[in-house]
Structure 1
Amino acid sequence: MKKRFEVVCLLLVMCFLATNLGAQGVVEKPVIKVLVLDMFEVGSNKGDFAGEFQHYYEKYFDGATDYNLNTMPLTLYINDAGIAGCIAGMGKAQASSTLTAILSDPRFDTSHTYILVSGCGGMPPTRGTLGDVVWAKELVDYDLGHSWTESDIAPGTTATFMRSNGYDRSGYIKLNQNLANWAYATTKDVVLVDDAKAEAYRANYGSEEALEKPAVRMGVSVTGDNYWHGKHSSLHADEVCASYEAGAYMVTQMEDNAFAVAAMNYGLLDRLLVCRDIVNYDQPYEGQTVLESLDASSGAFSMGMTNGFLVGSTVVDELVANWDTYKNTIPSTK
C-alpha cells in the first residue's frame, strides 16, 4: 500500500512539473551568429565622435539586450538577429580575457559563432595607405621570443630577434585562408571614404603606396602589447615575421593573437575574422621625429573608423542573411 502511494505521489509530481514547464515555456539561450569585437570607444556609444564601436552600436545594438560579463568592466549586446558586440578592451590580456568570458558564459550559444575583430591599426608607408582596410590571413606576435635592442647587436650581425619554438602556438597563427579570402572577395569593391587632410599628410612620405587611395587589402597582422613606433621597430617586426616564414606584415595592432588563442581554445579559430583599418603609419617621415609622428594629426582616424565599419558590417550582414547555409558551412571562394 505504501509503495503504491509513493508511486501515485511521484506521478502527480511529474504531471505537475510537466504542466508547469509547458505553461512557462522553455527559455532558450540566445544564439550568437556573429560576435563583433572592438577595442575602445572615444565617448558615448552613439551620437558623438565615433571610435571603433559606435558605428556598429548605432546600426546593430541601440535598443538590443545587454548582458554584464562577470565583474568585467564591459557590456555585451545581442540583437534579435543574433548579432552580438562589445568593447573588448585594449592589449592582449584584456582581449583574451574578454573573449574567454563570452565563450565560456553558459547563457549564450556560441557553438557556431563567427568572430569578427574590427579595429584600427598602423601600417608601413611602403605597403599601403591611410584609410586602407586589411583582412588578416596570418597573425604574428611581436613580443614572444628572445629579442634585444640594436645597441646590443653582436659584431658582424644584424639580428635583433631569435624565435623560440615554445611560443609557436600563440606566436604564429594562420587563420582560415578560405574564410579570409571570402571576406576579401565579398568586400574588395566596397567604396571607401577618403579625407583631404589625410591626402595631404600622405604626401610627406612620398612612396607610391603611401600616395594611393584607400582600398581593401589582405596581409599579415602583427600583435604587440607595446605600442611601438619607428623605422627600426618596423624592421624588427619584419624580422619576427620572417622567422615564422609569414612574409612582410601589412598592419600592426595590440590584440589579434590574443583573440585568436582564445578562439582556438574554444574550437572557433576557423570562424575568426580580423579586419583592421589603417589610421596611422608606423614610422615617421623623413625629417620627422618619432615623438612628432606619434603626436601628428594625419586626418585618418575618423576615416578609418568609417572604412573599417563599412567593410566589417558588409561581412556581418552577409553571414546573417545566409545563416541557414553558413551556420554549418564556413564560406569560401572555392
Structure 2
Amino acid sequence: MTFQPRSMLIALASLFSLSLAQPGMATTATPVTAADVAATIAACAPGAACAKPLPVRMVIVTLFEIGADSGDKPGEFQLWKERRKLDVRIPFPQSHHDLYYNPDTQVLGIVTGMGNIKSATATMALGLDQRFDLSKAYWLVAGIAGIDPEDASIGSAAWAHYLIDGDLSHEIDPREIPADWKTGYFPLHSKGPNDPSPPVGQGEVFEANVALRDWAYDLTKDMTLPDDPSIQKERARFTSHPKAQLPPFVLKGDQLAAMTFWHGKLLTDWANGWVDYWTQGKGEFVTSAMEETGTFQAITYLDKIGRVDKDRVMVLRAGSNFTMPPPDDNAAHYLLSENEGYAGMTAALESLYAVGSKVVDEILNHWDRYEQAPPR
C-alpha cells in the first residue's frame, strides 16, 4: 500500500488489518496501528519536529534496487520488501528513495543509493528524521559485494567487523612511481607504500560491534546457503583457490569500501594489504563494495547525539562476483563480462535474505531480551 497525499491518509488507514501474525512478527512489541502511522505521516513533515515518532526495532539498509521495488528482477531491496511485508510507503524526499515500514514488526527499509556519498547522506537524513524513534533500533546492512577467492565463493555471506575506506589516499600514476614501489596508491600521512610507520587515520577505518558480529555469525554459521548450477560452473574455474570452489557458506570477513569498481589480482593484493595496514594486521579483507564507511560514519555522528546506537549495527555482505579473474581469463575481459551480469547475483541476494532474516527474527521474536542491550 502506497500512502497518498495527507487528505487521504486517515481514510486509507481503515484498509489496513494488523491482526494477523507475520513472519518475524515481534509479538511483544508495543502495538502500532495503521491509524498511528497515518497520523504520524500526516502530522509530521519530513525533517520537522514530530510529537509521536514511529518506533523502529530494525532498519534494513540496502544500497540499490533494479527497476521497480517489487514484481520484477530484484536488486538488494526487493526480497526484503516483499517477504517482510514492508508495505507502508513513507515519503523521504530528503534522500534517494522513499522508505517502507511494517507496523506489525516495526521494521523499516531504506535504499540509500550506491556509493559512500549517498549512503552517508541517506543514513544521516534518516537518523535526523524525527518521524522515527531509532534509539533502540538494530541496523542490518545487507548488500552484494565482490569477494576474494582466497577466502570464499560467490554466494557466500560474510559478517564484518572492520570497515575500511579505500578512497582517502595519495596517488601517483604507476608510470611515474619510484622503482622500488609496487603501487602509486598509498595512505595519507605516509611517505609511500613502503612506509612502515603506524597509520594516522582520518576516518579510514571503523569497527562494528565485534561481540554483536560474533553473535550473528554463531547464529548463522551452520546454515546451508542457496546454490545453483551457474555458480557451481563459475567457481569451478578457480582451480588454484580451494575456498572459491566451495558451495556458498557463512563466514567472518572485513569490508573494503571504495567508490571505484576495481578488479584484478594485483588490486586484490592491494586490497588485502590496505586492510592489513589500516587494521594493523587484525583484519582480513573478504568483501569489496562502495558504501560501508559512509554509512558507519553517519551512524557514528548520530550516536554522539543519542539518535542511534552504533553498537547495534551489523554489516553483512554476500559475494555476487569475485574480485579477480580465474586462471583461464584476464582482468579486463572478466570485469567487462561481469558488467553484463554477475554470476552470483541471485545466490547472493538469497543468501543475504536467508542469513540476515535469521538474525532479524531472533531479535524481533525476543525483543524483551534484546531491547535494552545488544546480544553478546
- Which of 195, 217, 240 aligns to 2:228? It is 195
Q: Which residue of 2 aligns with 1:45?
A: 69
Q: Distance in 2 between matches of 1:37 and 1:247?
A: 23
Stretches of structure 2 lacking an aligned partner (at least 5 in a row): 1-38, 40-49, 190-198, 304-308
Give me the whole-angstrom Cα distance separating, in 1, the residues matched to 2:180 and 2:330.
28
- The answer to whether the aligner puts 1:258 opposite 2:258 as a matched pair is no
Residues in 2 aligned to 1:155 and 1:73: alpha-carbon distance in whole angstroms: 45
CA root-mean-square deviation: 2.1
Letter aligned with residue 283 of structure 2: G
Shift of 1:148: 3.5
Whether 1:205 and 2:205 are equivalent positions in the alignment is no
Please tell me whether Structure 1 or Structure 2 has the larger radius of gyration of its CA atoms.
Answer: 1
Number of equivalent positions: 308
**SS across alignment from 1:128:** coil
Kept after mapping to 2: 8 A contact 1:134/1:217:
yes
Q: Structure 2 residue aligned with 1:172, among 192, 205, 213?
A: 205
Contact preservation (8 Å) 1:195, 1:299 = no
Cα 1:167–1:99 shift into 2, 3 Å:
farther
Matching of residue 182 in structure 1 with residue 215 in structure 2: yes
Looking at structure 1, the residues matched to 331 and 90 of structure 2 have their Cα atoms a distance apart, in angstroms, of 41
- Could you tell me which residue of structure 2 aligns to residue 70 of structure 1? 93
Aligned to 2:275: 241
The AA in structure 1 aligned to 2:359 is: V
**In 2, are the aligned partners of 1:137 and 1:174 still within 8 Å (CA)?**
yes
1:61 equivalenced with 2:85 (yes/no): yes
1:1-334 to structure 2, matched below 5 A, reads 28-63=52-87, 65-80=88-103, 81-158=105-182, 160-164=184-188, 168-206=201-239, 207-244=241-278, 245=280, 246-267=282-303, 268-294=309-335, 295-296=337-338, 297=341, 299-332=343-376
Q: Does the 8 Å CA contact 1:201/1:298 hold for their aligned counterparts?
A: no
CA distance in 1, matches of 2:221, 2:321: 21
Mapped to 2, the partners of 1:248 and 1:186 lie a distance apart of: 21
- TM-score w.r.t. length of structure 2: 0.77
Task: Give the superposition deviation at 1:62.
Answer: 4.2
SS, match of residue 298 in structure 2: helix
SS of the residue 1:213 aligns to: coil
CA distance in 2, matches of 1:231, 1:259: 28
How far apart in 1 are the matches of 2:100 and 2:86?
9
The one-character-per-residue Cα deviations of 1:22-66 (angstroms, maximum 9, x if unpaired) are: xx9x96321111100111112222222221111100122343x22
Paired residues of 1:144 and 1:167 also in contact (CA < 8 A): no
CA 152–128 in structure 1, closer or farther in 2 if over 3 Å, else same:
farther
Structure 1 residue 218: Cα displacement: 0.5
Following superposition, the deviation at residue 144 of structure 1 comes to: 1.2
- C-alpha displacement of 1:163: 2.8
CA–CA separation in structure 2 for the residues paired with 1:175 and 1:29: 27
Kindly state the Cα deviation for residue 72 of structure 1 after the two structures are TM-superposed. 2.6
Q: Check the 8 A contact 1:160/1:236 in 2, yes or no.
A: no
Task: String of CA shifts for 1:84-122, please: whole Å, max 9, x gaps.
Answer: 002111000000011101100011101111111101001
CA distance in 1 between partners of 2:298 and 2:345 (Å)? 28
Q: Distance in 2 between matches of 1:190 and 1:47?
A: 27
Secondary structure in structure 2 of the residue aligned to 1:222 = strand
